[in-house]
Amino acid sequence: MRVLLTGGAGYIGSHTALLLLQRGFDVIIYDSFLNSSSKVINSIEFYLNSKQINYKLKTIVGDIRNKDCLDKVFKDSINEANPIKSVIHFAGLKSVSQSVDNPLQYWDVNVCGTKNLLEVMSLNNCFSLVFSSSATVYGPSELVPIKENSSCRPENPYGNTKLTVETILNDLFLSKSNVWSISILRYFNPVSAHPSGLIGEDPRGIPDNLFPYITQVAIGRINTLNVYGDDWNTRDGSGIRDYIHIIDLAEGHIAALNYLKSNKFTYEIINLGSNNGYSVFEIINEFHRITGYKVNYKVVKRRSGDISISIADISKANKLLGWSPTRNLKDMCLDGLNWQIKNPNGYC
């Protein structure tokens, strides 16, 4: 089955692409490479060749806002008698702080780009979509674990764009509910890397997120981790999050694709997390205990826009997709550090 991965060269897309190729899916990666490196494609191919796995992978450099370029990808596949059966739509911009500084860019890429994709899919009779949404859409919620039917009050432009796309997808589904099959995945905090150390997270510049920051402090690329506040209403005063291993998350996408294949004409919103909450201090201490690498830190004031706690209820993913994560914090720390040690400067 041929699957198109927009943003397939990015952090989540590349891990999902590798797993799909290992399972025999025919994959097209469509990416502008704005926030990723073409070296990730070499790493995916290197891994598959080293395991003597036959695979079908095509990479196309293109922007989701370029309708002609997107349309050609679908038309070419039809002409090859191997049409795209499903799309996993990862492409987008994901920095909360950048979205505050440049909201129009975020609306343009995340919302207008998605609208283009949906129009091109319709034109080419492809109606199966897995969409990358985010736990950010919930906003602050004291009620944890968070269920999919909890209220959504995003507090930044990035979250607004994700919730808007969810609304567009709902409207589209309602207008043609005998045509579309849509799965919206709300990720909590994806972390770590492929155990081979060949692919992983490679943020541009100073990382925004806790995990890549910790692994970069551990190897000495950054001096000190800033812990954003020890005065939150949590068990030790630092923020609590639901971290999920990137390979478990990638497995969740394959489960969603298979679900759409056997349950046509559905629209489902599904949390992907681990249902475990760890505080920042717990992560720092566990990382040291598990890996032996100490993480220097200092407590600074709260980061604007942060929330105290976020933990996923994943019972829907388990029930509908038959999916639940199998990797624990130890795997997250070891695989994340392995990637950082093998690639101290990322894909550079």
Residue 96 touching ligand WQD (CB under 6 A): yes
Query: Interacting stretch for ligand WQD, rule CB under 6 A, among 21-29, 143-151, 169-177, 221-229?
Result: 221-229
User: How many Å apart are CA 210 and CA 131, to the nearest integer?
Assistant: 24
Q: Report the site for ligand WQD in 28-67 (rule: CB under 6 A).
A: none
Give one word for 283, left, alpha or beta, with left for phi > 0 and alpha for psi -120 to 50: alpha
Best CA proximity match to 40, nearest among 61, 71, 11, 80: 11
| 280, 311, 329, 332: residue in contact with ligand WQD (rule CB under 6 A) | 280
Min CB(268)–ligand WQD separation in Å = 19
Cα distances (angstroms) measured from residue 155 to each of 138, 146, 148, 270: 9, 17, 18, 20
User: How many Å apart are CA 47 and CA 270, to the nearest integer?
Assistant: 30
Min CB(297)–ligand WQD separation in Å = 8
| 16, 43, 183, 189: residue in contact with ligand WQD (rule CB under 6 A) | 189
297 is catalytic: no
Count of CB atoms situated within 10 Å of the CB of 286? 15
Min CB(104)–ligand NAD separation in Å = 14
Binding partner of 226, given ligand NAD, ligand WQD, none, CB within 5-8 angstroms per partner class = ligand WQD
Residue 315 structure tokens: 């019972």
Is residue 88 a contact partner of residue 272, using CB atoms and an 8 Å limit? no
Q: Is 348 exposed, middle or buried, given 0-12, 13-18 or 19+ CB atoms closer than 10 A?
A: exposed
| 85, 94, 194, 253: residue in contact with ligand WQD (rule CB under 6 A) | 94
CB closer to ligand WQD, 56 vs 302 = 302
Binding partner of 259, given ligand NAD, ligand WQD, none, CB within 5-8 angstroms per partner class = none
Residues in the chain: 348
CB closer to ligand NAD, 200 vs 229 = 200
CB closer to ligand WQD, 90 vs 213 = 213
Best CA proximity match to 346, nearest among 5, 93, 36, 31: 36
138, 158, 213, 243: which one is catalytic? 158
Residue 296 touching ligand WQD (CB under 6 A): no
CB closer to ligand WQD, 8 vs 10 = 10
3-state DSSP assignment of residue 194: coil
Contacts with ligand WQD: how many residues (CB under 6 A)? 18
| 45, 306, 328, 341: residue in contact with ligand WQD (rule CB under 6 A) | 306
User: How many Å apart are CA 256 and CA 251, to the nearest integer?
Assistant: 9
3-state DSSP assignment of residue 29: strand
- Residue found under tokens 């039917």: 149
Binding partner of 303, given ligand WQD, ligand NAD, none, CB within 5-8 angstroms per partner class = ligand WQD
User: How many Å apart are CA 178 and CA 31, to the nearest integer?
Assistant: 30
CB closer to ligand NAD, 7 vs 139 = 7
CA–CA–CA angle 102, 90, 277 (5° rounding): 85
Residue 303 touching ligand WQD (CB under 6 A): yes
Min CB(241)–ligand WQD separation in Å = 5
Residue 122 touching ligand WQD (CB under 6 A): no
| 15, 85, 194, 241: residue in contact with ligand WQD (rule CB under 6 A) | 241
Min CB(236)–ligand WQD separation in Å = 12
Best CA proximity match to 32, nearest among 90, 77, 82: 90
Binding partner of 275, given ligand NAD, ligand WQD, none, CB within 5-8 angstroms per partner class = none
CB closer to ligand WQD, 8 vs 273 = 273
User: How many Å apart are CA 90 and CA 8, to the nearest integer?
Assistant: 7
Residues within the interface to ligand WQD (CB under 6 A): 94, 96, 134, 136, 189, 208-210, 213, 225-228, 239, 241, 280, 303, 306
Residues belonging to the active site = 158
